[in-house]
């Protein structure tokens, strides 16, 4: 009889679950990519992530150290690598970040320092983003980087989408900072990066929003968002920036979270991690976390929907009532199932 009660209880609960409207995964808004898995068996330590400017839905990534001079273009629709770019003449030491600038160039940051900040200089490699996605070999421009104040360990490199200026965040929970490069990187001399703001975080990557109004920096266990504003009225020509903390975007649990990128529309973040067949997870943004341009677009769309006529509003209201009714029915069904299970258990105990 006890097994019968258990069977009836399980059946009742199953019916209750079926009666509750299922949660449907949110579709990517406005054509934004959804979460995806990197299928390429060569990519085992994805350590940087950047949305392509030239190819919708494609993300650039690379392995950590000991892989070679390779950068991979991954199609988020399939998770497959659609191009491998080999950097000729480069023997990378510890590649940690990738970013795409407004000049159509891909910037690769060989900026890691696992010895705790002992290398006197690190490098940034730059090459044009291919117009056609296919395997190719390029000779990148190499930029030598030093920090004002001495060597630093870093894994976060970001190119501002409006000014083209390059920034690096050092990887240090106490005393970490945001460093700004020259207005234009030199290919012949040393580029000195100067500290302009404090960011005390074990930073593994960072990214600017497409409109340049937000900066997100992530670590293994948290992410922070900042409002970004160039100093002075001249904007692009002004050194320094004002950053204002505005919140902490949601961060998925990951094996070893190493990367972050905004989607091209700025409405979501894509978080990457190391590992074989690693998962890139999409997290939608809202409120102050939304970049200015994305928030404006959302407000415009909301206004257009509101002015679409009474009939549309009536349909929306009816749909809302239907959803409320379904939720009520589902809730009552669950409650009834619980009562049924408890009643059967009491009956068993009495026998």
pLDDT in tens, 63-121: 997 789 999 999 999 999 999 999 999 999 999 999 999 999 999 999 998 777 789 99
DSSP symbol at 173: T
| Distance in angstroms (rounded) separating the CA atoms of residues 78 and 185 | 35
Q: What is the pLDDT of residue 89?
A: 97
Q: What is the pLDDT of residue 308?
A: 55
pLDDT in tens, 286-332: 999 999 999 999 888 888 776 554 444 443 343 334 334 333 333 43
How many other C-beta atoms lie within 10 A of the C-beta of residue 258?
27
- Rounded mean pLDDT of the chain? 81
C-alpha 32, offset from chain centre = 12
| Distance in angstroms (rounded) separating the CA atoms of residues 44 and 247 | 31
CA nearest neighbour of 197 among 170, 224, 221, 166: 170
pLDDT at 155 over 60: yes
Higher pLDDT, 134 or 349: 134
Higher pLDDT, 275 or 118: 275
């Amino acid at each position: 009889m006890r097994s019968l009660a258990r069977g009836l209880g399980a059946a009742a609960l199953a019916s209750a679950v079926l009666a509750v409207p299922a949660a449907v995964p949110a579709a990517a808004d406005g054509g934004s990519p959804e979460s995806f898995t990197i299928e390429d068996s060569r990519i085992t330590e994805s350590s940087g992530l950047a949305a392509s400017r030239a190819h919708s839905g494609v993300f650039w990534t690379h392995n950590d150290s000991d892989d070679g001079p390779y950068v991979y273009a991954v199609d988020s629709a399939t998770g497959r690598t659609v191009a491998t770019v080999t950097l000729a003449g480069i023997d990378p030491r510890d590649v940690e970040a990738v970013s795409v600038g407004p000049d159509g160039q891909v910037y690769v940051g060989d900026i890691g320092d696992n010895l705790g900040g002992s290398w006197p200089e690190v490098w940034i490699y730059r090459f044009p983003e291919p117009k056609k996605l296919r395997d190719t070999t390029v000779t990148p421009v190499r930029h030598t980087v030093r920090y004002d104040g001495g060597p630093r360990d870093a894994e976060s490199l970001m190119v501002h989408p409006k000014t083209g200026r390059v920034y690096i965040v050092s990887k240090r929970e106490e005393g970490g900072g945001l460093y700004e490069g020259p207005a234009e990187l030199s290919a012949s001399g040393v580029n000195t990066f100067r500290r302009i703001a404090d960011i005390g975080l074990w930073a593994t990557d960072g990214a600017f929003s497409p409109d340049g109004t937000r900066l997100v920096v992530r670590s293994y266990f948290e992410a922070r968002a900042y409002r970004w504003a160039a100093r002075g009225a001249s904007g692009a020509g002004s050194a320094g920036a004002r950053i204002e903390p505005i919140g902490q975007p949601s961060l998925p649990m990951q094996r070893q979270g190493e990367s972050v990128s905004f989607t091209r529309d700025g409405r979501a973040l894509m978080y990457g991690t190391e590992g074989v067949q690693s998962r890139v997870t999409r997290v939608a943004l809202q409120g102050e976390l939304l970049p200015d341009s994305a928030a404006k677009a959302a407000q415009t769309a909301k206004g257009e929907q509101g002015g679409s006529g009474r009939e549309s509003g009536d349909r929306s209201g009816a749909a809302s009532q239907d959803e409320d009714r379904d939720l009520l029915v589902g809730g009552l069904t669950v409650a009834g199932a619980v009562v049924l299970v408890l009643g059967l258990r009491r009956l068993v105990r009495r026998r």
